[in-house]
Amino acid sequence: MAGNREFINRRLHSLLGVIPVGIFLIQHLIVNHFATRGAEAFNNAAHFMEMLPFRYVLEIVIIFLPLLYHAIYGVYIAFTAKNNVSNYGYLRNWLFMLQRITGIITFIFIAWHVWETRIAAALGAEVNYDMMASILSSPFMLVFYLIGVISTIFHFANGLWSFAVSWGITVTPRSQVISTYVTLAIFLALSFVGVRAIFAFV
């Protein structure tokens, strides 16, 4: 019974990491990338997202609750996982370990980012280009955001591999090897978007 519960929890954890959390990540990166076109373009894109109907309901039900479940169960997995990189130095084992490490970094980064933007907005601050430019004017915060964004993107992209395995999409060794390279390509592509967006605020 406990084994079945853990199996269901892991599959749900994997699913929520892609739908809706992963989709929101991609959307968030796209909105941030508007900063490369200037302050006005970013502010217009951010304002459009803020004007969505039932915004707060959507944020709570589609983003925050799934993200909270994924984060809390993910921390449990990270601290109970048995990494065997020292014994089996294969690429997949290294990616398995990095998935756990980036999960913890992502947890810390997102908690801080939500506090610095969404909570600040709830307290009356305006989330716009100037806010992000002010945050990233600090060299420490710039490095923190670079590490946080890259870790978050890696965690999502590499998590797609686990999702495909967990849900029976890639069942053969060959399909799993192909999936490894596809997800690494997704990581590189999204990292380019994310890093470019960060430097657009600097």
Q: 121 is written with which tokens?
A: 């907005």
Give the per-residue pLDDT at 96.
Answer: 87
pLDDT per position as a tens digit, 24-54: 999 999 999 999 999 999 999 988 877 777 7
Contact between 154 and 102 under an 8 Å Cβ cutoff? The reply is yes
What pLDDT was estimated at residue 14? 92
Separation in Å, CA 5 to CA 8, 52, 87, 90, 102: 5, 36, 30, 30, 25
Count of domains observed in the chain: 1
Provide the domain limits for residue 45: 2-200
Tokens read off for 179: 């999936």
d(CA 76, CA 79): 5
Over residues 86-108, mean pLDDT: 84
pLDDT of residue 109: 97
For residue 80, pLDDT over 90 is answered with: no
**What local confidence, expressed as pLDDT, does residue 134 receive?**
95
Could you tell me the CA-to-CA distances from 135 to 1, 49, 78, 128, 190 in Å, in that order?
48, 21, 30, 11, 22
Question: Residue 25 CA to chain centroid, in angstroms?
Answer: 6
- What whole-number distance in Å separates Cα of residue 56 and Cα of residue 65? 12
Mean pLDDT of 155-182: 93
Mean pLDDT of 88-104: 84
Residue 195's domain is classified under what CATH number? Answer: 1.20.1300.10
Torsion angle (degrees, nearest 10) of CA 160, 102, 95, 196: 70
| Nearest alpha-carbon partner for 20 in 156, 198, 195, 171 | 156
